[in-house]
Chains A and B, each alone.
Chain A
């Protein structure tokens, strides 16, 4: 794994009035890493993600994403990252290929790039025969693949995945994770949130937020041994309940 840092934060903070939704978090994500961003509901994950994706200005601290500053270069961040959420916003009435081209166009790809990358992508996904099917006619697993492809078509250094597998069947969920592995293998950095604790184990490293702070940070193996736990589910419960509170 390359040691280049794609995300680097130091004491990054977001306050709403007196309430610190994100309270001095410091962590880094390396190139090609699959980084799991975990936390209880309301722990500050979404707020932190919004700052890292250039949607929300921080109150204090420092952070860069893909080499750009989260205070001053938010527009550059947006152009240089990929983003996919659970409710992926593709168009039901466009075909698979049209969806890819539409979003690629928004990211500023040229017509040649769109044709070339769009077709390569469709082929790689094994969806060549159905490229002209409307999105609403295809199974969820395919939509998910398309959504991921759309988020990475402009070849960002990092892609943010916000609960990408919620409610998805166990087979499709695993196929999706293979796409993530493949992307990471090709050098794309993956930043992912999930409530499935077995998926947390698929990550190279994870951080876990509790009450606006990072209360656990390391590889799944390290965390399991630090918190004397059999699996990540146990680690999560122990960290969230404040046992063995281990600050970075």
Chain B
């Protein structure tokens, strides 16, 4: 059953088209990732779904309700953690939680089972003001507050942006943990590698959805043989040399190596090897590798521009 249905959704701010007619659905109990850079339309989409802003055009249904009209039902049954910390800095950890519990007509005790794993990490700081918490703890408090009324659908808007790799991993473990409580989770992120942690993802850029699928299917949908290249010379010179290669299809840095695709379909490792040798490179390593989400995203973005 689809918990969220979106058909041909459009939203503009003046002349800026934030969403250009997107369609997708989210199934019960899925972790659904909105993957894309700033300006892709992720936050706009989340705000429309959770009834904070009105759409211009298109059909949207969240738990069978229309966010433009039945927003009270929606607001009572969703949790929302915005990108920017928006709890009360002058209230303590416990006061913040009690405040949100009261608003939703519940208590910390009633929701304890759901928030336990996260809350226990900040409970020792119950009396500390939220403003004095570290970034990681603020995030955990914000998540507890978003869960306090046992929502059916949880929206997390860029929970890991600007967060170091270790804290990011911890946060994703928490998200995975929520899964067992039968909560549908919509999470946005600019980090392409986080796609792999979702059940399904929508790659978004410039107000459009470039692809929707499982992360495995997205990653393997490059449609080109991908090579990883490395030489003794450093990547800057290697990129320049490859750009001059007449059969080059695409080349860009990826970690310590370069990712390269060729216009020809057959295995071109040896031809490429001799070209680079002629250019004075040595210790050339050319390896066929599996593509990942970011490779596919880059390709789709280039197609979108054309």
A contact set with B: CB distance below 8 Å: 39-43, 140, 163, 166-172, 174, 177-178, 181-182, 185, 195-198, 201-202, 220-221, 231-233, 236-237, 240-241
B64 at the interface (CB under 8 A from A): no
Question: Pick the contact of B253 from A174, A185, A221 — CB < 8 Å?
Answer: A174
Is B37 in contact with A168, judged by CB distance below 8 angstroms?
yes
Is B163 in contact with A195, judged by CB distance below 8 angstroms?
yes
For A40, list chain B residues within 8 Å (CB): 164, 166-167
Is B236 in contact with A182, judged by CB distance below 8 angstroms?
yes
| Distance, CA A232 to CA B164, complexed state (A) | 12
Question: Pick the contact of A167 from B38, B193, B239, B252 — CB < 8 Å?
Answer: B38
| Distance, CA A212 to CA B165, complexed state (A) | 17
Is B255 in contact with A167, judged by CB distance below 8 angstroms?
no
How close is B215's CB to chain A, nearest CB, in angstroms? 16
Is B161 in contact with A181, judged by CB distance below 8 angstroms?
no
Smallest CB gap from B256: residue in A: A201
Is B298 in contact with A237, judged by CB distance below 8 angstroms?
no
B280 at the interface (CB under 8 A from A): no
| Distance, CA A140 to CA B163, complexed state (A) | 21
Is A237 in contact with B166, judged by CB distance below 8 angstroms?
yes
| Distance, CA A43 to CA B134, complexed state (A) | 11
Asked if A39 meets B164 with Cβ closer than 8 Å, knowing A171-B301, A201-B256, A220-B256, the reply is yes
Is A41 in contact with B165, judged by CB distance below 8 angstroms?
no
Question: Pick the contact of A198 from B161, B235, B255 — CB < 8 Å?
Answer: B255
Q: Give the residues from 255 to 302 in chain B that come closer than 8 angstroms, CB to CB, to chain A.
A: 255-256, 294, 297-298, 301-302
How close is A191's CB to chain B, nearest CB, in angstroms? 18
Smallest CB gap from B302: residue in A: A171
How close is A17's CB to chain B, nearest CB, in angstroms? 15
Asked if A237 meets B301 with Cβ closer than 8 Å, knowing A41-B135, A41-B136, A181-B236, the reply is no
| Distance, CA A95 to CA B239, complexed state (A) | 32
- For chain B, which range describes its interface: under 10, 10 to 19, 20 to 34, or 35 or more residues? 20 to 34
Is B253 in contact with A236, judged by CB distance below 8 angstroms?
no
Is A166 in contact with B162, judged by CB distance below 8 angstroms?
yes
11 A-B residue pairs with Cβ-Cβ distance under 8 Å, sorted by A, are: A40-B167, A42-B134, A140-B39, A167-B161, A169-B301, A170-B297, A170-B298, A171-B252, A182-B236, A240-B166, A241-B166
For A185, list chain B residues within 8 Å (CB): 236
How close is A102's CB to chain B, nearest CB, in angstroms? 25
B190 at the interface (CB under 8 A from A): yes
Contact with A along B10-38 (1 / 0, CB 8 A): 00000000000000000000000000111
Question: Pick the contact of B161 from A43, A166, A178 — CB < 8 Å?
Answer: A166
How close is A101's CB to chain B, nearest CB, in angstroms? 27
How close is B257's CB to chain A, nearest CB, in angstroms? 8
Asked if A170 meets B192 with Cβ closer than 8 Å, knowing A201-B255, A202-B235, the reply is yes
Is A237 in contact with B256, judged by CB distance below 8 angstroms?
no
How close is B271's CB to chain A, nearest CB, in angstroms? 25
Is A169 in contact with B37, judged by CB distance below 8 angstroms?
yes
Question: Pick the contact of B256 from A172, A178, A221 — CB < 8 Å?
Answer: A221
B169 at the interface (CB under 8 A from A): yes
Contact with A along B222-233 (1 / 0, CB 8 A): 000000000000
| Distance, CA A240 to CA B39, complexed state (A) | 32
Is A202 in contact with B166, judged by CB distance below 8 angstroms?
no
For B190, list chain A residues within 8 Å (CB): 166-168
| Distance, CA A170 to CA B235, complexed state (A) | 17
B50 at the interface (CB under 8 A from A): no
For A201, list chain B residues within 8 Å (CB): 255-256
| Distance, CA A102 to CA B256, complexed state (A) | 37
For B136, list chain A residues within 8 Å (CB): 41-42
| Distance, CA A167 to CA B157, complexed state (A) | 13
| Distance, CA A49 to CA B26, complexed state (A) | 43
For B253, list chain A residues within 8 Å (CB): 174, 177, 202
| Distance, CA A240 to CA B256, complexed state (A) | 21
Question: Pick the contact of B165 from A163, A178, A195, A221 — CB < 8 Å?
Answer: A195
| Distance, CA A172 to CA B235, complexed state (A) | 17
Is B294 in contact with A170, judged by CB distance below 8 angstroms?
yes
For B294, list chain A residues within 8 Å (CB): 170
| Supplied contacts A174-B298, A182-B236, 5 more A-B pairs, CB within 8 Å | A41-B163, A42-B136, A170-B294, A170-B297, A237-B166
| Distance, CA A237 to CA B193, complexed state (A) | 15
Is B165 in contact with A236, judged by CB distance below 8 angstroms?
yes
Question: Pick the contact of B255 from A163, A181, A232, A237 — CB < 8 Å?
Answer: A232
For A42, list chain B residues within 8 Å (CB): 134-136
Contact with A along B132-172 (1 / 0, CB 8 A): 00111000000000000000000000000111111101000
